[in-house]
Structure 1
């Protein structure tokens, strides 16, 4: 069910309803209504949420669960993201890391994880 999945993902990412609302450009009360099941998202918002939380829309809608390996990787990346976001004084080549730089680091790690973890049902060719 969408309401349950949204709340679960929001809390896993360490976001308040207000923070999620700000990122989506909607009101905190709208997020609350989604989480209470009193409102359903349109397809555009659903797609944005799926991209934000790095899951399929099927996972958001509760149609299927995220594979366990991907859940574990997302948990580790989310913890790293929170540490990176809250760490003060990080520098690269003598210059402080901007928020954009921090986001690029997290995105690079997500891309690397996506490449390293095979999709569900994908065969490992090295086992032949």
Structure 2
């Protein structure tokens, strides 16, 4: 059975407009190592997989093909603010509802 990981990594990287080299730099590895993940000749370890999910603002389940929705996760180690991540996944009307609930 073919792994969904290489294709999903490529999708998420291109969605963010990153090159393989830029993705590798964010991950703290060499570009050749990252390229092997996308080609399917190597799989990341668990720690690296979690970092990839944080970088691409998605879940490990999505990257592994266990979920069809690319929903962000909220890692405690992530550098991004949780409110910013939440704002990225909410629609405008949902954001307005949250603001209304917080200000009422």
For structure 2, the 5+ residue unaligned runs are: 73-78, 95-104
- The TM-score, its normalising length taken from structure 2, stands at 0.67
Correspondence for 1:111: 86
Q: Normalization by structure 1: what TM-score?
A: 0.56
1:54 Cα deviation after fit: 1.5
Equivalences, count: 83
Moved over 4 A (4+): none
Partner of 2:22: 19
Higher helix share: 1
Q: Structure 1 residue 111: deviation in Å?
A: 2.6
1:47 to 40, 46, 50: 50
Larger radius of gyration: 1
Contact 2:26–2:55, Cα closer than 8 Å, also in 1: no
Unaligned runs of 5+ in 1: 72-102, 119-128
SS at match of 1:15: coil
